C-alpha cells in the first residue's frame, strides 16, 4: 500500500503573518548551551526564509521546567499571542513547548480559539490540523515516558559521579573554574563578601539589590538589576564557604529539582576549595535566614505592628528594638495610641504615646524651619566635605572600595535632593500623620526616657552624624510633666 502524505494548504493572504519562535533547553544541564544557541539560530533562519512571514522575534527560556509558571518569556509570548500581536508560533518540538500533557492541550486549545497557530517542526504538526488533539495526546504521552527514562539515567549518572568525588559546577560568580580547579575572582569575590556583610547587618534582599544598583555593580550577565532569587541563592550557597554539597539537587521527570536545605552530610565535601567568606560568616547568614523564615511563620512582628505606618520609625537604643504600635485602654475608659517595646528578656518596657511623639516632632521641625535660611549652605558644605574625604583609588574592586563607593553614592543622592528637602523644611507647618513626618524624618531614636535623636531623611544612614540643632520640650507623661531633650541630626 502506498503511503499518503497530507499536505496542509496555505492560505493565500496578501498580508504577511506575524511569526515568533520559541526555544528552550530540555533539561537543566549546563552543557546544553551549544544546542540552545543552535535552536535559536535555526528558528530565526527558518522564519526569515519564508517570504510570507514577518519575523517578530525568538522567545527563549534557559530554565527548564515542567510547569509553565517558571518560563517567563513563554508566558510573555502567550500573552502577546492572545492580544493578536503574534499569529504563528514555531517551536522545535512538543518537548520544547510543554512536556506536561495537560498544559500542552490546554494552551493549544486556548490559542486556537484566538486564531493562533503553533507549528512543531520535529513532528511536522500544525495546531490547525483537525486531528491535532489526538496526535498531541499520543506524542505527549510518549514524551512523558521518554522524559522519565532520561530522568532515571541522569540521576544514575549524577550518583555515580558523586561517589567518585566529582562535581557538576562549571561556573559560580566569585570564582574562575577551569577543569575542576577553583580560583577566586577577586573583583567578584569583593561583591560576594559585601552581600554577605549587608545581610548580616539585617539588610533585606530588596535593600541589597538597591545598593548594588546605586553602586553600578552589574550581574554576571551584565544586567543593572540583580534578581531577588540570585541574592538568596548566593547567601544559601555553601560553596562560598569553601564546601561542596553534591546532594542538593536531583533529576525528576527531566527536571532538575533543588533541595532548600543542606541535610545530606554524606554528600558534603568539606574544604573543597578556597573560601570567599569564612564558614562562620556563612553559618551566621544561614542562621539569620532560618530565623527570618521561622519568625515569619510565627508572625514575630504583631499584626498591628506590621500594618501600622509607625513600623520601624521609633527605635529604642536601650532595648535595641523598634517600638511597636498598639491601642492601650486604661480601665477600658479611653484609648491611648502608644508605641512600646521590651528588651530581649521581656523586661525594661520603653514606651511613648503617639501624641507625645507628634508634639516632639512638630516642635523640633518647627524650630529647624526657623533657621532654614542658613540650612542650605550649611548642609551643602557638610556634604561636599564628606564627599571630598571619600577618596577611592585603584582599579580592583575591593570590599573597602565598595563601602566607600556606597557612602559616596548615598551622599551624592542627598545633595541632589537637598533643595527640595530644604523647601519642605522652610514651609513646615504642624502635621498629624506619621506618613507626613516620614518625608522629613528617617527615624526617631530614644536614647533614654529623657533624650531623643531625630535623624533627618535626607541621608540614608548615620554616616554624617552631624547635629544641626538641639533643644528641649516639656511633655506630659502620665500625671507628670517631664523635660525632654532632643537633637536633630543630619
Q: What is the pLDDT of residues 192-235, one digit of tens each?
A: 999 999 998 888 888 898 889 888 898 888 888 888 888 988 99
The pLDDT, as a whole number, for residue 40 is 83
Rounded CA-CA distance 290/287 in Å is 5
Mean pLDDT of the chain: 77
Side-chain half-sphere CA neighbours of 461 within 13 A: 12
Rounded CA-CA distance 237/396 in Å is 24
Q: In the predicted model, what is the mean pLDDT of residues 269-292?
A: 83
Q: What is the pLDDT of residues 439-468, one digit of tens each?
A: 999 999 999 889 999 999 988 888 788 899
Q: What is the pLDDT of residues 52-102, one digit of tens each?
A: 999 888 888 765 544 555 577 888 888 888 888 889 999 888 767 765 666
Residue at grid coordinates 526569515: 48
The pLDDT, as a whole number, for residue 53 is 92
The three grid cell numbers given for residue 300, joined into one nine-digit string: 514575630
The pLDDT, as a whole number, for residue 149 is 58
Q: In the predicted model, what is the mean pLDDT of residues 470-482?
A: 88
Give the C-alpha distances (Å, rounded to integers) separating 153 from 148, 150, 235, 305: 9, 5, 31, 52
Whether the CB-CB separation of 119 and 126 falls below 8 Å is answered with yes
Rounded CA-CA distance 44/39 in Å is 9
Whether the CB-CB separation of 417 and 458 falls below 8 Å is answered with yes
Residue at grid coordinates 517551536: 91
User: Going by DSSP bridges, is the β-strand pair 244-245/268-269 parallel, antiparallel, or unpaired?
Assistant: antiparallel
The pLDDT, as a whole number, for residue 158 is 54
% of the chain exceeding 70 in pLDDT: 73
Where does the pLDDT of residue 4 fall: very low under 50, low under 70, confident under 90, or very high at 90 and above? Answer: very low
Rounded CA-CA distance 488/62 in Å is 52
Containing 249, the helix (H) or strand (E) segment is: strand 249-252
Q: What are phi and psi of 441, to 5 degrees?
A: -120, 125
Amino acid at each position: 500500500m502506498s503511503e499518503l502524505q497530507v499536505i496542509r494548504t496555505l492560505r493565500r493572504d496578501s498580508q504577511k503573518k506575524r511569526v515568533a519562535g520559541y526555544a528552550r533547553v530540555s533539561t537543566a544541564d549546563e552543557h546544553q548551551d551549544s544546542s540552545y544557541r543552535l535552536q535559536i539560530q535555526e528558528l530565526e533562519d527558518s522564519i526569515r526564509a519564508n517570504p510570507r512571514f514577518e519575523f517578530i522575534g525568538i522567545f527563549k527560556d534557559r530554565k527548564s521546567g515542567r510547569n509553565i509558571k517558571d518560563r517567563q518569556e513563554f508566558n510573555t509570548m502567550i500573552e502577546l499571542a492572545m492580544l493578536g500581536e503574534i499569529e504563528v508560533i514555531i517551536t522545535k518540538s512538543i518537548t520544547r513547548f510543554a512536556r506536561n500533557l495537560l498544559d500542552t492541550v490546554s494552551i493549544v486549545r486556548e490559542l486556537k480559539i484566538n486564531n493562533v497557530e503553533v507549528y512543531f517542526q520535529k513532528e511536522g504538526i500544525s495546531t490547525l490540523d483537525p486531528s491535532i488533539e489526538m496526535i498531541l495526546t499520543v506524542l505527549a504521552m510518549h514524551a512523558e515516558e521518554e522524559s522519565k527514562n532520561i530522568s532515571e539515567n541522569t540521576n544514575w549518572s549524577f550518583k555515580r559521579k558523586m561517589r567518585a568525588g566529582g562535581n557538576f559546577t562549571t561556573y559560580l560568580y566569585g570564582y574562575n573554574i577551569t577543569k575542576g580547579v577553583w580560583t577566586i575572582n577577586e573583583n567578584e569575590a569583593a561583591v560576594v563578601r559585601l552581600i554577605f556583610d549587608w545581610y548580616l547587618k539585617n539588610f533585606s534582599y530588596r535593600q541589597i539589590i538597591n545598593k548594588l544598583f546605586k553602586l553600578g555593580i552589574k550581574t554576571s550577565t551584565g544586567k543593572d538589576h540583580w534578581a531577588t532569587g540570585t541574592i538568596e541563592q548566593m547567601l544559601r550557597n555553601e560553596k562560598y564557604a569553601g564546601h561542596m554539597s553534591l546532594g542538593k539537587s536531583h533529576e525528576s521527570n527531566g527536571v532538575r529539582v533543588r533541595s532548600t536545605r543542606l541535610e545530606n552530610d554524606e554528600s558534603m565535601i568539606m574544604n573543597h576549595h578556597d573560601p570567599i567568606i569564612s564558614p562562620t560568616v556563612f553559618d551566621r547568614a544561614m542562621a539569620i535566614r532560618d530565623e527570618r523564615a521561622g519568625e515569619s511563620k510565627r508572625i514575630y512582628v504583631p499584626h498591628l505592628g506590621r500594618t501600622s505606618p509607625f513600623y520601624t520609625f521609633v527605635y529604642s537604643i536601650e532595648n535595641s528594638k523598634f517600638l511597636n504600635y498598639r491601642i492601650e485602654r486604661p480601665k477600658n475608659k479611653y484609648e491611648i495610641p502608644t508605641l512600646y517595646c521590651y528588651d530581649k528578656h521581656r523586661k525594661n518596657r520603653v514606651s511613648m504615646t503617639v501624641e507625645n511623639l507628634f508634639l516632639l516632632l512638630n516642635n523640633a521641625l518647627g524650630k529647624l524651619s526657623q533657621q532654614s535660611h542658613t540650612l542650605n549652605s550649611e548642609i551643602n558644605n557638610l556634604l561636599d566635605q564628606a564627599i571630598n574625604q571619600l577618596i577611592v583609588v585603584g582599579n580592583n574592586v575591593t570590599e573597602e572600595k565598595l563601602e566607600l563607593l556606597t557612602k559616596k553614592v548615598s551622599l551624592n543622592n542627598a545633595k541632589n535632593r537637598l533643595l527640595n528637602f530644604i523647601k519642605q523644611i522652610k514651609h513646615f507647618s504642624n502635621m498629624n500623620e506619621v506618613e507626613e513626618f516620614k518625608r522629613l524624618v528617617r527615624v526617631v531614636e530614644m536614647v533614654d526616657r529623657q533624650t531623643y535623636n531625630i535623624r533627618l531623611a535626607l541621608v540614608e544612614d548615620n554616616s554624617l552624624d552631624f547635629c544641626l540643632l538641639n533643644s528641649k520640650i516639656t511633655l506630659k507623661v502620665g500625671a507628670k510633666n517631664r523635660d525632654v531633650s532632643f537633637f536633630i541630626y543630619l
